[in-house]
Structures are given as structure tokens and as C-alpha cells.
Amino acid sequence: MATYDGLFDGLGLRDWCDAEAADGPMSMADLLAKTKGGNDAATSLRDLPFPSLDALHDACAAIPQSRDLTQGLETGFLGIRDALRVVVDPLTQPLSWALENMLWLMTQTPWWVMVPLLLLVSWVVARSWKVVGFVALMIAALAFVDHYEVAMQTLAIIFVCAFICVLLGVPIGIAMSRSDRLQGILTPVLDMLQTLPPFVYLIPLIFLFSVTEPKLYGIAVILYAIVPVVRLTNLGIRLVDPDVIEAADAFGMTKRQKLFGVQIPLALPNIMAGVNQTIMMSLAMVVIASMVSAPGLGILVLRGIRNLELGVGLVAGLGIVVLAIALDRVTKAALARIDASQSSR
């Protein structure tokens, strides 16, 4: 006797279960039960399985199995894929163009032009000669082991994706800070994006786009890395001292003036901390996205895993660490400069 046969018999659903069983082929479990004699002693309470779909299906063929659920999800996604692609393709095509152009720019520009340009950007952001010297040392270390080109590819992807994350994430965070209802709606979405394993981002995108399209890995990086800048922008604006807001109201400032003249400047340290985390998460996702043809240091890490080339994988992994430290130093120096300027007021 199947474990949950008594349940369906007691509910009077046996005819419904038997009708479904008659319509479909007999499962292997039912066949074995029939040959052994289906009316043997019932399963003891100790061996009672959890009432999962498969366990209930053994007692009633009308209950779908777990594989029916996964197959139904796949069939449903494939059914709307073409319509979804018609909408998503035009919207995401600029991302492909931006990634292609940035990759071309950073790999085709001579190193004696690109390296000073990167050092200039580091100076403008950090305003620290120590940080600029550290960045120069890190780039020299990568170039010394012939990883300059792949490092520039990784940086190109990070620059584009992190810029888009900030461009989209800061307005979303501002909107969340101004509406409790919007915050309640978006918080579960951000929780899902933050806890979803990185590899899972790639699964639906592989079915939507060609592996040769840069937007495939670009969208995955953006979805994975946008969460910190949204959360910390929202948090920073909400943590602005209410007395300061009250003083701004007393001066007759409009909502727009309060936002750009008071709230955003005071929330800038939190926003910059979100930008720092977004850059770090972009770098982490770029490595994983190498599985779907994202260029850069991640390709070498993947090659080391696939071909068991220990040296290649370790050197590329250390190169990623070098890039992460350099980017972290620059953004943290910018954050410290903002904190110092605010404390001196």
C-alpha cells in the first residue's frame, strides 16, 4: 500500500486519482507495487516520508511530480521567450555597443596613453599621490606578467557596468527614500537579487541572448552589482538628520532644492560606499561571467580550472586581487576625501 493512499481514500478522491492513473502510463513504482502485491503492510510512522510532490504522486497519479514542475517552468519560459526577446533586445542593445566600444578603446589604445590616463582618473577621484603611485604599481605588476590586455578587458567591463549601476541605482534609491510604499515593493526584489547565486543569473540570459552578445554578461553583472548602491543611497538619504530637513523647510526650500542641496550632499558618504561595493561585486561577477564568453582575467581563471593549469589560474586569480585592491583604494580614498570635506564644514 502506498504511503498516502489512506489520505486520498479518506478524502474520497480515489476515483479522481484512479481516473488520472488510467489516462497515463503506469509508473515503475506502481508496477513494482502491483507485482509485489499492493496491499502489504502500510509504511510505519518512522519511515513516513515528507508529503512532497513525488511522495503524493506515488499514492495519487493526479498529483504532478517535481519534474513536471521544472518542465512546466521551462516550457512556460520558452513559450514567452520570443515575445520577451522582441521587447528586451532593443532595450539592451546600447549595452552591447557600450561594452564593445569600451573594450575596443581600452585594448587598442597604446599602453603609454592608457596608463597615464588611468592614473589621471585615479588622481581626479582620489586626490592622493600615494593612491596614484599604488595604482601605477599594480598596473605595472599586471603588465610585467603579460596580463595587461586581459586586465584592461576586465576594467572595461567594470567601468561600463558600474557606471550603469550608479546611473540606475542612485535614482532608484532616491525614489525609495521618498516613498515607503516603493521601498516595501522593491525591498523583496533587492533581497532576491542579493541572495540569488551568481550562476543563476546566467541561466535565463543564455536562453534569451546569443553567447557572442556582450549584453549577455553585461546584464548579469548589472543585476548582481546594482543592489548595494540602491540600498545605501536609500539608507543614506533616510539617515539625514531630521533637524537639518526641518531647517531647510524653515528656509522655504522646495523638495527638489532639499534633495540636491541638503539630502544628497549629506548622504554622499553612504552613496560612495555603495559605489565601492558595486565595483567590487562587478569584479566578482565578471569572473563568473567568463563562463558565457566575458573576456578578461576570468577567462584565464576558467582555463586554469578546465585544463588543470595551476600556474595560469593562480596568476590570473592574483591579477584579479590586484585589480580589486587598486579599485578599492581609489574609491575609499574618494570616500575619505568626502568625509573630510564634510567634517570641516
Q: How far apart are CA 285 and CA 37, in angstroms?
A: 55
Non-local CB neighbours of 59 within 8 Å, separated by 6+ positions: 2, 3, 4, 5, 7, 8, 17
Calculate the alpha carbon distances from 120 to 101, 114, 131, 163, 204 in Å.
21, 10, 11, 18, 39
Q: Which residue has the higher pLDDT, 12 or 112?
A: 112
Name the grid cell of 236. Answer: 543614506
Four-way CATH pick for 81-343: 3.30.70.100, 3.40.50.150, 1.10.3720.10, 1.10.1270.20: 1.10.3720.10
Mean pLDDT, the chain, integer? 88
**pLDDT tens across 150-182, in order?**
999 999 999 999 999 999 999 999 999 999 999
Helix, strand, coil shares, percent, the chain, to 5? 80, 0, 20
Calculate the alpha carbon distances from 17 to 62, 70, 135, 322 in Å.
5, 22, 69, 62
Q: What percent of the chain has pLDDT over 70?
A: 91
Least confident range from 4-13, 15-24, 214-223: namely 15-24
Q: Is the pLDDT of residue 55 over 50?
A: yes
Query: From the CB of residue 110, how many other CB atoms can be counted at a distance below 10 Å?
Result: 7
Of 341, 300, 340, 334, residue with least CA distance to 127? 334
pLDDT computed for residue 35 by the predictor: 55
Calculate the alpha carbon distances from 123 to 126, 129, 135, 337 in Å.
5, 7, 10, 12
Amino acid residing at 143: A
Non-local CB neighbours of 282 within 8 Å, separated by 6+ positions: 157, 158, 161, 162, 165, 221, 224, 225
pLDDT computed for residue 277 by the predictor: 94
pLDDT computed for residue 207 by the predictor: 87
Q: How far apart are CA 154 and CA 279, in angstroms?
A: 12
Mean pLDDT of the region 23-37:
54
pLDDT computed for residue 2 by the predictor: 55
Calculate the alpha carbon distances from 170 to 64, 156, 235, 237 in Å.
44, 21, 11, 11
Of 105, 101, 28, residue with least CA distance to 61? 28
The residue ranges of every structural domain in the chain are 5-64, 81-343
Of 115, 104, 95, 99, residue with least CA distance to 326? 115
Q: Is the pLDDT of residue 27 over 90?
A: no
Mean pLDDT of the region 215-223:
93
Q: What percent of the chain has pLDDT over 90?
A: 57
Mean pLDDT of the region 28-33:
54
Q: Which residue has the higher pLDDT, 205 or 37?
A: 205
Q: How far apart are CA 335 and CA 344, in angstroms?
A: 14
**pLDDT tens across 270-320, in order?**
999 999 999 999 999 988 898 888 999 999 999 999 998 999 999 999 999
Residue 133 — pLDDT band, cuts 50, 70, 90?
very high
pLDDT computed for residue 185 by the predictor: 95
pLDDT computed for residue 41 by the predictor: 46
